[in-house]
Structure 1
């Protein structure tokens, strides 16, 4: 591995995202901390943390970058039937702590969502920067969820889980619809997955992603209090 900069926890700084390695794709720096100020600077700069318990903090900015533009969400015929059946209810910021922990514990392959990460993003949530999206059944059972970070008119999806068929797809459609209504430019999905691609996500060059961020992170969205919106998903989505 090429030499990478070690970040000093006392010094709030990142190298430019375009200095990230090609192999492994996007690895930019090591060390530092997960303070709210550093995390916010990272997201504003197109960088995110991703590491395991036995590693130092690793900071990434892959190229290309997987994103979903809210007005490009794809709703298949079968998914539209599910939406019309109103089988799920979607809420925002109701159970952030539960959602972030389930994002980690529901992955059979293991997780990067360590206790340190949970504490860091919970503090971001307390400051109104990190948000959760919850999907519920009519009986009030949790069916799926996601957490992420909102800065300006950019939303950075971090992790998602599904406990029932189609719950994560309903979540994505509803979230994209709300982001569009609130004037968000983009939802960052970080890296490609088949699930995201079928929902309308696509990969763009890192330079294009950074250009979107430079324009969007200082803009004010139409909605800043996520808790104001919750509804049964249906034909209105």
Structure 2
């Protein structure tokens, strides 16, 4: 748990008025920690994402708000598709959907993994993103085979920005397939980027770029001048796989 003596703001759980701090005031170590406390209400989460801030905390911690520097993003027209992913995408034995099984995707993302026995997707987080989904601001993309959910991801969308939260795979390449189809749909809707928050080797292999926070915030601000495409979303693109 973060040391409560650190010089960062604490927000009361009932405080829906005090704005989150300027992201540029975030701590260097731990990288991007900005504030503690507050709530996961729809208004607070929408405010946070529009300002480049997101919640991330463990089961025994208060809500922790972050805006790391640098920031990992994938331009939706620059997703790297490997040969193995291309082969998986070109198969004809799977189906893709948007917002068909949001809660199931979140539950799957929260399942323990061999290299990560715990999860930051707590019951409070599941409930909060469920509320965002019902408000039309959080979305999922699902990959199905034989009517079985084999992979997917979920995140938040505001303006022309999509903020990826988590993904899962039950078969090889399934989460990457979800990412590829999502980026294709976002391109068709004239989105510019998918926010990945923190870089990982998995995301970097798919084309994620690490931007200075200031550059990311400028790009984010431009995206928020566009209207939000509220859900539920449906897939409305032509087959793009041979472009």
- Tell me the TM-score range normalised by the shorter chain: over 0.9
**In structure 2, C-alpha distance between the alignment counterparts of 1:142 and 1:134, rounded to whole Å:** 7
Question: Runs in 1 of length 4+ with deviation above 4 angstroms?
Answer: 223-226, 230-234
Is 1:5 aligned to residue 9 of structure 2?
yes
CA distance, structure 2, for counterparts of residue 86 and residue 195 of structure 1: 25
The alignment's TM-score, normalised by the length of structure 1, stands at: 0.93
**Does structure 1 retain, via aligned residues, the 8 Å contact 2:164–2:196?**
yes
Answering whether residue 108 of structure 2 is matched by residue 102 of structure 1, we say: yes
CA distance in 1, matches of 2:240, 2:220: 31
Matched, 1:140 2:181: no
Shift of 1:218: 2.8
Q: Structure 1, unaligned stretches of length 5 or more?
A: none
Alignment match, 1:32: 38
Q: Deviation per CA, 1:186-224, whole angstroms, max 9, x where unpaired?
A: 110001111111111110000011001111123036x65
* Counterpart pick for 1:114 among 109, 122, 128: 122
Gaps of 5+ in 2: none
What CA distance in whole angstroms lies between the structure 1 residues aligned with 2:237 and 2:220? Answer: 29
Aligned length: 235
In 1, distance between residues paired with 2:236 and 2:109? 21
- Could you tell me how far 1:145 is from its partner in structure 2? 1.3
Q: Distance in 1 between matches of 2:166 and 2:192?
A: 20
